[in-house]
A and B are shown apart, each in its own frame.
Chain A
């Protein structure tokens, strides 16, 4: 467990307010700056410090720490300094539920946030609901908006995978081709891609000509490539884990220098992996979905540079301290944006303590527009209070010279779909 409380430097307005209050209090013999009396707002972070999510967890922690520093330097939240308590969940759903307990009951956190892996969210959300503690996840899973969880669980800092996938289909159909063969891992993450992309490409007049599921224990892929129909125009791949390099290498050997379909993948395959890694040459010229472009685009907004500087990421998406330490750039912004969402809701609700948690969730549900700025460096978002899910624009990048170069940005509307749940009608 690690607690982070960065230096609390209040804003000028807070100082003036404090001085005024101090003068009044001073007349009663209580001369102390007002912020010195405020108890810190304690936020629990369910961190994947170990287990399969560790590479994400490391960057999520850096990102949350950077946002925390910025928020505290600007006066904290609602005039209170903010503290983050990190607890490792081992990327394990059983331990995740225990960590929710620990952050709430032992550390006395006001709320909990930061969880990425879907199975940990699924294992932990019931306990958050029982404890009636706001639980803000950063997992991009569809489980929140699907209605599977509860009133206390929200996903305000990242677009869910259903929306991401659906918004890719128009561009893929219009630019790469309409006959698609899909490679996906043979478990829930892969099935989301299979189901949602198949529907989305059909809506564009396209067709998935083959769905090839790869078992999670597979180490060699060549035998699956023989199943790719000759009519395939686009090869859609979402392979993740250590097998990615082998997958790409064997795909390159399969096609050789002959004609090949267009390649389209999700960057999840290559998060924290340098795209110029030997063995990935076959991906040159192929396209990837990115939520937040790893390589700083030429047309990046004003907040992008400030965000990268605060988190310690260079223009190529690697740590400024070590160019080989590539960030999980397309996901980690969610920790940052969720923290700013918490700030907005706490200040809007007048949250003072755990007795106000219900009021806090209601304030979150009332938020809808989340404009672009340093609070949301990935881009503007719309938060749907009924489904507890945020929607933002997505990006498509092309690998050129071993680097990801952004070529297209979708609109928020392209990723919207009909509500499957209205959490606001559920009891707390």
Chain B
């Protein structure tokens, strides 16, 4: 009960923030929430199940283009393209998982990275359809979901918050379920889990598909919300970002990816106003975090004060 209350209070806090933040930061919050959906899904695979993937940009990109292409090719829009994007992320994650999960550890990381790179080059290859490295601008008319005009700041922010709330609560429910405990068992000791009768391959494949659905939804939402889909979102950078968000906020904590995404986003935004060497300062901040709070911000909080935090 405490865990549910904690996350509901956090969501209420986000709603207050959404109502009071000035225009610039309110729009940034919408971006952060969509990225947090992506990182929350990544965290299910990485933080809870121990799968260190560098291929999630492929699932994010699949979601983005899974939504964008029906818009540009057939003039679709709204919920169907969001659903298609989400499905694309899940299907691609399942296909990659079928092969990549024959490996684990560093090998899994490299194999997923190779798949993601192949996906990126595929987007470039089909330039005539995908827009390649230049990408596609999505027309405003297609950017409506359930009657909500996504070219307007306030509706976009509230929809982003709604999607994040559902994503977060489903993640909390999942990790607190019996299956969630099996996920943790895979992370902690895969061989012992196998000995107890669980099939690591099947469990990890299911988690990877769920993680891919999150990534696909986030990619589709990012494209529709901000009106642009580009192959750049399928580069390795977008595989590393959710990992950093998770590590910074607290891998294996449900709310950690949001905290990490927000901290990283506003840190870059602030420091880039001071110097062009902002990535170096961000790197220093991450090193400090690793030295003094290796389990991330929320991991640190859980260790010290809230041991019941999922």
Q: Which residues of A contact B (CB under 8 A)?
A: 1, 49-50, 87-88, 90, 92-94, 97-98, 101-102, 105-106, 118-119, 122-123, 125-127, 129-130, 141, 143, 148-149, 186-189, 191, 215-217
The number of chain B residues touching the other chain, given as a range, is: 35 or more
**What A residues does B131 contact at CB under 8 A?**
122, 188
B233 A119 Cβ-Cβ under 8 A: no
Interface residue? B276 (CB, 8 A):
yes
A102 B24 Cβ-Cβ under 8 A: yes
Q: How far is the CB of B90 from chain A (nearest CB, A)?
A: 23
**What A residues does B138 contact at CB under 8 A?**
126
Q: A125-B137, A191-B127 are in contact. List 13 more A-B contacts (CB 8 A).
A: A1-B273, A49-B276, A88-B276, A92-B232, A97-B226, A105-B23, A106-B24, A118-B134, A123-B230, A123-B232, A126-B227, A187-B133, A188-B134
Q: Given A97-B226, A127-B227, A187-B124, does the pair A119, B134 have CB atoms closer than 8 Å?
A: yes
Q: Given A93-B232, A94-B233, does the pair A122, B134 have CB atoms closer than 8 Å?
A: yes
Which residue of B has the minimal Cβ distance to A123? Answer: B228
CA distance A215 to B133 in the complex (A): 13
Q: Which residues of B contact A (CB under 8 A)?
A: 22-24, 27-28, 31, 121, 124-125, 127-128, 131-138, 140, 151-153, 226-228, 230, 232-233, 269, 272-274, 276, 278-279
Q: How far is the CB of A356 from chain B (nearest CB, A)?
A: 20
CA distance A87 to B24 in the complex (A): 15
Which residue from A102, A129, A141, A217 sits with its C-beta under 8 Å from B269? A102
Q: How far is the CB of A57 from chain B (nearest CB, A)?
A: 9
B24 A101 Cβ-Cβ under 8 A: yes
CA distance A372 to B274 in the complex (A): 38
A149 B137 Cβ-Cβ under 8 A: yes
Which residue from B23, B128, B232 sits with its C-beta under 8 Å from A94? B232
CA distance A50 to B24 in the complex (A): 23
A-B contact pairs, 5 of them (CB 8 A): A50-B276, A93-B228, A122-B131, A122-B137, A191-B127
Which residue of B has the minimal Cβ distance to A141? Answer: B134
A216 B124 Cβ-Cβ under 8 A: yes
**What B residues does A215 contact at CB under 8 A?**
121
Which residue from B27, B151, B274 sits with its C-beta under 8 Å from A105? B27
CA distance A119 to B131 in the complex (A): 10
CA distance A157 to B127 in the complex (A): 27
**What A residues does B27 contact at CB under 8 A?**
101, 105
CA distance A148 to B137 in the complex (A): 7
Q: How far is the CB of A390 from chain B (nearest CB, A)?
A: 20
Q: How far is the CB of B239 from chain A (nearest CB, A)?
A: 15
Q: How far is the CB of B24 from chain A (nearest CB, A)?
A: 4
Which residue of A has the minimal Cβ distance to B132? Answer: A188
**What B residues does A93 contact at CB under 8 A?**
135, 228, 230, 232
**What B residues does A127 contact at CB under 8 A?**
226-227
**What A residues does B134 contact at CB under 8 A?**
118-119, 122, 141, 143, 188-189
B135 A122 Cβ-Cβ under 8 A: yes
**What B residues does A94 contact at CB under 8 A?**
232-233
CA distance A49 to B275 in the complex (A): 10
Q: Given A126-B227, A186-B124, does the pair A119, B269 have CB atoms closer than 8 Å?
A: no
A88 B228 Cβ-Cβ under 8 A: no
Q: How far is the CB of B143 from chain A (nearest CB, A)?
A: 9
A187 B132 Cβ-Cβ under 8 A: yes
Q: How far is the CB of B77 from chain A (nearest CB, A)?
A: 14
Which residue of A has the minimal Cβ distance to B123? Answer: A187
**What A residues does B31 contact at CB under 8 A?**
98
A98 B28 Cβ-Cβ under 8 A: yes
Which residue of B has the minimal Cβ distance to A186? Answer: B124
A123 B28 Cβ-Cβ under 8 A: no
B226 A122 Cβ-Cβ under 8 A: no
Q: How far is the CB of B236 from chain A (nearest CB, A)?
A: 12
B137 A191 Cβ-Cβ under 8 A: no
CA distance A256 to B143 in the complex (A): 57
Interface hub of A106, A127, A130 (most chain B Cβ within 10 A): A130
A119 B135 Cβ-Cβ under 8 A: yes
**What A residues does B125 contact at CB under 8 A?**
186
**What A residues does B272 contact at CB under 8 A?**
1, 87-88, 90
Q: How far is the CB of A72 from chain B (nearest CB, A)?
A: 24
Q: How far is the CB of B277 from chain A (nearest CB, A)?
A: 8
Which residue of A has the minimal Cβ distance to B235? Answer: A92
CA distance A189 to B132 in the complex (A): 9
Which residue from B135, B140, B273 sits with its C-beta under 8 Å from A129? B140
A123 B135 Cβ-Cβ under 8 A: yes
A130 B132 Cβ-Cβ under 8 A: no
**What B residues does A187 contact at CB under 8 A?**
124, 127, 132-133
Q: How far is the CB of B124 from chain A (nearest CB, A)?
A: 5
Which residue of A has the minimal Cβ distance to B153? Answer: A130
Interface hub of B22, B24, B31, B151 (most chain A Cβ within 10 A): B24
Q: How far is the CB of A85 from chain B (nearest CB, A)?
A: 10
B124 A130 Cβ-Cβ under 8 A: no
Q: How far is the CB of A161 from chain B (nearest CB, A)?
A: 11
Q: How far is the CB of B273 from chain A (nearest CB, A)?
A: 4
Q: How far is the CB of A149 from chain B (nearest CB, A)?
A: 6
CA distance A49 to B279 in the complex (A): 12
**What B residues does A49 contact at CB under 8 A?**
276
Q: How far is the CB of B137 from chain A (nearest CB, A)?
A: 5
**What A residues does B140 contact at CB under 8 A?**
126, 129
Q: How far is the CB of B138 from chain A (nearest CB, A)?
A: 7
**What A residues does B279 contact at CB under 8 A?**
50
Which residue from B22, B124, B228 sits with its C-beta under 8 Å from A122? B228
**What B residues does A141 contact at CB under 8 A?**
134
Q: How far is the CB of A4 from chain B (nearest CB, A)?
A: 15
Which residue of B has the minimal Cβ distance to A217? Answer: B121
